[in-house]
Amino acid sequence: MPSQLHTELRALAQPGGREFLTGIRRGIEKESLRITPEGKLANTPHPEALGSALTHDLITTDYSEALLEFITPVSTSIEGSLEELRNIHRYVYRHIGDELLWAASMPCIVTGDEGIPVAQYGSSNVARMKTVYRYGLGHRYGRLMQAIAGIHYNFSMPEAYFDKAWRDAGANGELSDYMSERYLGLIRNFRRHSWLLIYLFGASPAVCASFLRGRTDHNLVPFDGDARSMHLPYGTALRMGALGYNSDAQKDLNVCYNSLDNYIETLSAAIRIPHPGYRDFPSGQDGEYQQLNDSLLQIENEFYSPIRPKRVARSGESALHALVRGGIEYIEVRCVDLNPFTPVGLDAGQIRFLDTFLLHCLLSGSGECDDSEMAGQARNLEAVVNRGREPGLELEDNGEPVSLTEWAGRLLDEMSAVAAALDEAHGGSDYAASLTSQRARVEDPELTPSARILREMRERELPFFRLAMSYSEQWAAQLRREGLDPSVEAALRAEAERSLAAQREVEAGDSISFEEYLANFYAQYEAL
């Protein structure tokens, strides 16, 4: 075991350390497309019974009007978070008629950009900004990308953990700066090893052919000679590759995670400096907005990364300004596919492994990263996205070739001590069992979700669309049959009504023009 990891785990074994591990805070943001009973993207507006997508605390939309996003409150309970997520699903199914929630990350039958309705949030300035931002994404990357769904996993340690570690280290500087440094170390390690999550949990090795209609810039091949599905034989998570949240324009955006100041300065410059490729999309000329600005990034969220440092922003505050104000509060993992084999897209075993993985990233040594290493990380990610289950696949570890199975085994061996500490804190052996399940996937790639999808397509003689549709129908029927506690239903109904009233208040409270609103918002970046 690496020395720093050993030291950190030994400290957590001291009195009080157990509370730090049981106090891990997590939140889940799960996206799902609303679809028709025929498996096409729903073109109906966001149902009023679900409240306001602008102000609802638990149910909103992401890029498309049809892309629902369910948000669980921050919790220290895995089972509690999953029950919250399941309750949201149960409630939604009571209010979307005969529509279904698509069970996969890659979309259902789509008809091109014109068939992807852009999310709407009302008439207020903040609502218009959210919609214009999405129009800008559509112009820059195509709207089809806005029909891809995923899971964002938010993770943080109790502040008391950092306070103790900071004091043990001499209490130099500010606690908030120490927390940011530790989270940046986690992020650097995450980026070094995120290929492992892609291998273990990638569940998008194939797509419906409609997603690629008219495109030739891909390396996918027909599945079993069936042009209804396109796939990569050893692919794992096409959502995380060239078909998904990637941008040629952003390839030269070299974001450094060695210091928070550098991260903020790099993204702030990308938001402030015009980008020649986007100058032809209107951004306020004669009152027309097809994007928020003509910079490389309209806002921070346009920077696509498998992980982000985050702090809860105040009303009207930019994400970067929030980080300047208080430092990193938590991290957001963004590379997790929906698991179509579970009713709500993920399960407790997967969450336990994510916690083990992230804690390993936090507690292990994390040297600074240079451009050469970052380029190697990108190559590793691309290799696992496209060829993760290929026999004998080699990756780069500090510039040296290493087999995926050897490196994964080494990481899982190190994580066994982390899982043991978590099991000691929580009681039982659930974390060790989750680790054992992932080790089996490394030893036998056929156990991965991506392999299972292709295997079931072959054995059931179903194209990707039909397979995903069958699971969407199965989970819809199950969740509709399940009861919903009357108090939970009443609370969600009350939240929907509260959110609609809150949206009306926001709209009534606007006292400046949209142009002034944007000017005030972007003035924050000039001051960073």
Does 304 reside within a domain? no
Does 307 reside within a domain? no
Quickly tell me which residue has 């300035």 as its tokens.
125
Does 136 reside within a domain? yes
Spatial contact of 241 and 382, defined as CB atoms under 8 Å apart: yes
Closest Cα partner for 385 from 239, 248, 245? 239
Structural tokens at position 474: 């199965």
CB within 8 A of 101, min separation 6: which ones? 32, 33, 34, 35, 68, 89, 92, 93, 472, 475, 476
User: What does the alpha-carbon distance between residue 522 and residue 528 come to, in Å, rounded to a whole number?
Assistant: 11
Statement: the pTM of the whole predicted model exceeds 0.85: yes
Does 318 reside within a domain? no
Helix axis angle, 348-363 relative to 3-12, nearest 10°? 110
Least confident of 145-159, 192-206, 246-260, 342-356: 246-260
Structural tokens at position 481: 């049959």
pLDDT-derived band at 528 (thresholds 50, 70, 90) equals confident
pLDDT-derived band at 168 (thresholds 50, 70, 90) equals very high
Does 267 reside within a domain? no
DSSP-derived letter for residue 343 is T
pLDDT at 462: 95
CATH number at residue 152: 3.30.590.20
3-state helix, strand, coil in the chain (%, to 5): 50, 15, 35
pLDDT at 407: 98
Q: Is the pLDDT of residue 390 over 90?
A: yes
Structural tokens at position 131: 């919609």
Using a 10 angstrom Cβ sphere, with 0-12 exposed, 13-18 middle and 19 or more buried, the burial of residue 205 is buried
Closest Cα partner for 42 from 83, 92, 85? 92
Does 395 reside within a domain? yes
Q: Is the pLDDT of residue 107 over 90?
A: yes
Does 373 reside within a domain? yes
Quickly tell me which residue has 């959210």 as its tokens.
130
Does 528 reside within a domain? no
pLDDT, tens digit, for every residue of 254-304?
898 999 999 999 999 999 999 999 999 999 998 899 999 999 999 999 998
pLDDT, tens digit, for every residue of 215-232?
888 889 999 777 899 999
User: What does the alpha-carbon distance between residue 10 and residue 417 come to, in Å, rounded to a whole number?
Assistant: 10
pLDDT, tens digit, for every residue of 465-476?
999 999 999 999
pLDDT-derived band at 10 (thresholds 50, 70, 90) equals very high
pLDDT, tens digit, for every residue of 337-370?
999 999 999 999 999 999 999 999 999 999 999 9
What residues pair up with 347 in beta bridges, in sequence order? none
Residues in the chain, overall count: 528
DSSP-derived letter for residue 267 is H
Q: How many CB atoms lie under 10 A from the CB of residue 521? A: 18
pLDDT, tens digit, for every residue of 54-78?
999 999 999 999 999 999 999 999 9
Total domains in the fold of the chain: 1
pLDDT at 225: 78
Closest Cα partner for 127 from 51, 54, 44? 54
What is the three-class DSSP state of 332? strand
What ranges in 295-429 are assigned the alpha helix state H? 319-326, 348-363, 371-387, 404-426
pLDDT at 83: 98
Cα-Cα end-to-end distance for the chain: 41
What share of the chain in percent tops pLDDT 70?
Answer: 100
Span 445-464, average pLDDT: 97
Spatial contact of 105 and 203, defined as CB atoms under 8 Å apart: yes
User: What does the alpha-carbon distance between residue 457 and residue 206 come to, in Å, rounded to a whole number?
Assistant: 10
Task: Indicate if the alpha-carbon torsion angle 303, 89, 202, 412 is positive or negative.
Answer: positive
Spatial contact of 102 and 32, defined as CB atoms under 8 Å apart: yes
Q: Is the pLDDT of residue 181 over 90?
A: yes
Span 26-47, average pLDDT: 97
pLDDT at 244: 82
Q: Is the pLDDT of residue 247 over 80?
A: no
Cα Rg of the chain (Å, integer): 23
pLDDT at 226: 72
Task: Note down the domain range covering 225.
Answer: 3-258+323-503
pLDDT, tens digit, for every residue of 111-125?
888 889 999 999 999
Phi, psi of 65 (to 5 degrees): -60, -30
Quickly tell me which residue has 């690496």 as its tokens.
2
Write the CA distances from 471 to 13, 146, 210, 466, integer angstroms. 43, 22, 19, 9
> How, if at all, do strands 330-336 and 151-156 pair?
antiparallel
Q: Is the pLDDT of residue 453 over 80?
A: yes
